[in-house]
């Protein structure tokens, strides 16, 4: 059974969307079914085996839409990752089905 992954993002100028598309492409290359959506358009996480949220930091704060996404979907276990876009894209390209990053968990 193939996992269905949501790659969602918030962006101000479009660069985080580009990173999200690159992550989705890499996950597809590894046989996963992937859907990409802007975070404000995501209404439910039902049916997804995994969710990747990409968001830029502005003045040390996640984008407002990313914080809103996390509040709306707070019932799921969450991995918080603070990586630069280029480093995250490199890590994702190197994955073999899942991405391992230094993260903190919230349950």
The reported pLDDT for the residue numbered 107 is 39
Q: What's the CATH code of the domain at 66?
A: 3.40.50.360
Tell me the three-class secondary structure of 31-63, residue by residue: CCEEEEEEHHHCCCCCCCCEEEEECCEECCEEC
Percent over 70 (pLDDT), the chain: 66
* pTM (2 d.p.): 0.71
**Confidence label for 2 from pLDDT (cuts 50, 70 and 90):** low
- Answer whether residue 42 shows pLDDT above 90: yes
Is residue 68 within a helix (H) or strand (E), and if so which, with residue range? helix 64-72
Number of domains in the chain: 1
Range of the domain at 79: 4-106
Residue-wise pLDDT for 62-95, tens only, equals 788 988 888 888 776 665 555 555 555 554 444 4
């Amino acid at each position: 059974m193939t996992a269905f992954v949501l790659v969602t993002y918030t962006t101000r100028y479009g660069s985080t969307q580009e990173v999200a598309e690159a992550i989705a492409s890499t996950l597809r290359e590894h046989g996963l079914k992937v859907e990409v959506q802007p975070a404000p358009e995501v209404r439910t996480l039902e049916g997804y085996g995994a969710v990747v949220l990409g968001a830029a930091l502005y003045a040390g704060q996640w984008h407002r839409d990313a914080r809103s996404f996390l509040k709306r979907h707070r019932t799921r276990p969450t991995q918080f990752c603070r990586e630069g876009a280029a480093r995250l894209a490199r890590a994702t390209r190197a994955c073999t089905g899942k991405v391992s990053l230094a993260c903190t968990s919230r349950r």
